[in-house]
Amino acid sequence: MITEIKAVAARSSATLWEDAFGVLSLFAVLVAGLSLPSLI
């Protein structure tokens, strides 16, 4: 099980950073959208 997880992490290390950046940007859009009504 652990060796499979290590193998998957080694194969997808490039896309892992892209996915993390995507999640971070979606979270930023969510926070901006939720704080927008208080600014208007």
Tell me, what's the pLDDT at 32?
93
Query: CB–CB of 16/9 below 8 Å?
Result: yes
Give the percent of the chain with pLDDT over 90: 42
What total of structural domains would you count in the chain? 1
Give the position of tokens 């998957």: 8
Which residue has better confidence, 23 or 37? 23
pLDDT at position 39 over 80: no
CA 11/CA 30 separation, integer angstroms: 30
CA atoms within 13 A on the CB side of 31: 6
CA angle 13, 4, 26 (to 5 degrees): 40
Residue 15 structural domain: 2-39
